[in-house]
C-alpha cells in the first residue's frame, strides 16, 4: 500500500562559529546589553564570515538531518531551501544538492522570509501526500548579517545567521495534523529588503533599472503588533483542523524573533511557559532557520520526544504567517 502520510524523521542544524554579544555590539551602535535583553531577550548572535556560504551552512545542517533520519543523500527525492539570502539570486538549493551528492533530488528555493520553514513544510507535505515523492529534505537558512544596516540600531541588534534542516518521509501514520498559511501584501512595507533600481539609458528611449538591494528596513512596532495578533489566530485554526485543543500541545515552537512576542503569543493561547521552546538568547532572529534550529536542539537535548505534539508558527516579511501542528518522529 502506498504511504501517503508524513513523518518528520530527522533534523540537523549548523551555526557559524563567530559570536557577537550585546556588549560588543554596543561598541558599534548606540545601544546597551540592558536595552537589547529587556526588549528582545537576545544576548548574542552568530555571524557568518565572508568565506562561509549559505549553501555550506545548509549542507552541514542537511547532512545531520539525513543521517539522523537513517537515510542517505541518494534517497532524497526533493530539496526545498527556504531562504531570503541565497548565495545566488537564481537559487542556492542546487548548490546544496551538489554538495550533498543528492543526485536524484530535484531542488529549488522558496522565499517567504521568517515564515519560510513553515511554508516549506506544507509545500513538502503536498508532494508526499500526492504520492509523488517519498523523501524530502527541507532546509531553512539565512545569513541576514549580509543585509542588515550595521548602523541602524533598530534592526542590527535583532538578527543572526544559521541553518536548520529536517527530513520528511512518506509514512503510514500522518504526523502533520493541521496547518494554516496566510499572506497580506498590503502590509508589505513594514518589513523589506528591497531592490532599488537606478535608471540607466541603454538606448535612446530604452531605460533599464540596474541597482542593488537595500538593507533591511522595519517598522518594529507594527511587526510586533501583527505577530502578537495574527500568530495565535493561525495556531487556533490549525489546531481546529487537527481536532486538538490547546492543552494537547506539548511544545509551542515559534519563529524565534523576540522573547516578548513568544511570551505574548503563549499568554494569549494560555500555554504555560515551560512548554515554550526558546533559544533566541543565543542566536537572535535567524529568519527561516530559527524554527528548524530550535527544533533540532530540542530533539538532540531530549526535550522533544517521539510523538510529542508541536505547534510551530512562522511570521515575517510579506507579510506572511502560518502554523503547522505535527508530531515528532515516525
Ligand atoms: N538600543 C537602544 N535604543 C533603541 C534601540 C537599540 N537597539 N532600538 C531602538 N531604540 C530606541 C528608539 O530609538 C526609541 O527611542 P525614542 O523613544 O527616543 O525614539 C526607543 O528605543 C523605543 O523604540 P521602539 O521602536 O518604540 O522600541 P520597541 O519597544 O517597539 O522595541 C523592537 C523595538 C524590539 C524592535 C520591537 O518593536 C519588536 O520586537 N518588534 C518586532 C520585530 C521583529 O520581530 N521583527 C522580525 C520579524 S521576522 C522577519 O520576517 C525578519
H or E stretch covering 322: strand 320-327
- The per-residue pLDDT for 152 is 97
- The per-residue pLDDT for 2 is 85
- Over residues 7-32, the mean pLDDT reads 98
d(CA 20, CA 283): 9
Statement: residue 272 has pLDDT above 90? yes
Statement: residue 1 has pLDDT above 80? no
Prediction pTM value: 0.97
| Contact indicator for 33, 26 with CB cutoff of 8 Å | yes
- Over residues 250-261, the mean pLDDT reads 98
Ligand 1 centroid from CA 117, angstroms = 25
Q: Is 33 exposed, middle or buried (0-12, 13-18, 19+ CB in 10 A)?
A: middle
Q: What is the DSSP string of 215-248?
A: PPEE-HHHHHHHHHHHHHHHHHHHHHHTT--GGG
Ligand 1: does its nearest atom lie under 6 Å from the Cβ of 157?
yes
d(CA 20, CA 148): 14
Q: How far apart are the first and last CA of the chain?
A: 17
- The per-residue pLDDT for 5 is 96
Q: Find residue 324's DSSP bridge partners.
A: 179, 312
Annotated active-site residue 274? The verdict is no
H or E stretch covering 118: helix 116-129
d(CA 6, CA 2): 12
Annotated active-site residue 307? The verdict is no
Ligand 1 centroid from CA 36, angstroms = 9
Statement: residue 111 has pLDDT above 90? yes
Provide the mean pLDDT of the chain. Answer: 98
Instruction: Name the CA radius of gyration of the chain, rounded.
Output: 19
Ligand 1: does its nearest atom lie under 6 Å from the Cβ of 262?
no
Ligand 1: does its nearest atom lie under 6 Å from the Cβ of 22?
no
Report percent pLDDT > 70 for the chain: 100
- Over residues 299-306, the mean pLDDT reads 98
- Over residues 155-161, the mean pLDDT reads 98
- Over residues 184-191, the mean pLDDT reads 98
Three-class secondary structure assignment of 254-291 = ECCCCHHHHHHHHHHHCCCHHHECCCHHHHCECHHHHH
- Over residues 165-187, the mean pLDDT reads 98
H or E stretch covering 8: strand 5-14
Q: For ligand 1, what atom is nearest to the CA of residue 39?
A: 34
pLDDT-derived band at 103 (thresholds 50, 70, 90) equals: very high
Report percent pLDDT > 90 for the chain: 99
Ligand 1: does its nearest atom lie under 6 Å from the Cβ of 114?
yes
pLDDT tens digits for 51-95?
999 999 999 999 999 999 999 999 999 999 999 999 999 999 999
- The per-residue pLDDT for 207 is 97
Q: What is the pairing mode between strands 309-316 and 251-254?
A: parallel
Go through the domains of the chain in sequence order and give each one's CATH number: 5-175 (3.40.47.10), 178-186+217-327 (3.40.47.10)
Residue nearest to atom 2 of ligand 1 (CA): 31
Give the closest residue to 301 by CA, choosing from 264, 328, 262, 320: 328
3-state helix, strand, coil in the chain (%, to 5): 40, 30, 30
Statement: residue 169 has pLDDT above 80? yes
Statement: residue 143 has pLDDT above 80? yes
Amino acid at each position: 500500500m502506498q504511504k501517503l502520510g508524513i513523518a518528520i524523521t530527522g533534523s540537523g542544524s549548523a551555526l557559524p562559529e563567530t559570536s557577537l554579544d550585546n556588549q560588543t555590539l554596543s561598541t558599534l551602535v548606540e545601544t546597551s546589553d540592558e536595552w537589547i535583553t529587556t526588549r528582545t531577550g537576545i544576548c548574542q548572535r552568530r555571524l557568518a564570515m565572508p568565506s562561509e556560504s549559505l549553501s555550506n551552512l545548509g549542507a552541514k545542517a542537511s547532512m545531520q538531518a539525513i543521517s539522523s533520519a537513517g537515510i542517505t543523500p541518494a534517497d532524497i527525492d526533493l530539496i526545498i531551501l527556504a531562504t531570503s539570502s541565497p548565495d545566488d539570486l537564481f537559487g542556492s538549493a542546487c548548490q546544496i544538492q551538489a554538495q550533498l551528492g543528492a543526485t536524484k533530488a530535484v531542488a529549488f528555493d522558496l522565499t517567504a522570509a521568517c515564515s519560510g520553514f513553515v511554508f516549506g513544510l506544507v509545500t513538502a507535505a503536498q508532494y508526499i501526500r500526492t504520492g509523488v515523492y517519498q523523501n524530502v529534505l527541507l532546509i531553512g537558512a539565512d545569513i541576514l548579517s549580509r543585509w542588515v544596516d550595521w548602523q541602524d540600531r533598530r534592526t542590527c541588534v535583532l538578527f543572526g545567521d544559521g541553518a536548520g534542516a529536517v527530513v520528511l518521509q512518506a509514512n503510514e501514520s500522518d504526523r502533520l495534523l493541521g496547518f494554516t498559511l496566510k499572506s497580506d501584501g498590503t502590509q508589505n512595507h513594514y518589513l523589506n529588503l528591497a531592490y532599488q533600481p537606478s535608471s540607466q539609458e541603454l538606448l535612446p528611449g530604452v531605460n533599464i533599472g540596474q541597482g542593488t538591494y537595500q538593507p533591511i528596513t522595519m517598522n518594529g512596532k507594527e511587526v510586533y503588533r501583527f505577530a502578537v495578533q495574527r500568530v495565535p489566530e493561525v495556531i487556533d485554526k490549525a489546531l481546529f483542523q487537527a481536532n486538538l485543543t490547546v492543552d494537547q500541545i506539548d511544545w509551542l515552537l515559534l519563529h524565534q524573533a523576540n522573547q516578548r512576542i513568544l511570551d505574548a503569543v503563549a499568554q494569549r493561547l494560555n500555554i504555560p511557559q515551560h512548554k515554550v521552546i526558546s533559544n533566541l538568547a543565543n542566536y537572535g532572529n535567524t529568519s527561516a532557520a530559527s524554527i528548524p534550529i530550535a527544533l533540532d536542539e530540542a530533539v538532540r537535548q531530549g526535550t522533544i520526544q517521539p510523538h510529542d505534539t508541536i505547534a510551530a508558527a512562522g511570521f515575517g516579511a510579506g507579510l506572511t504567517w502560518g502554523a503547522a501542528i505535527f508530531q515528532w518522529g515516525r
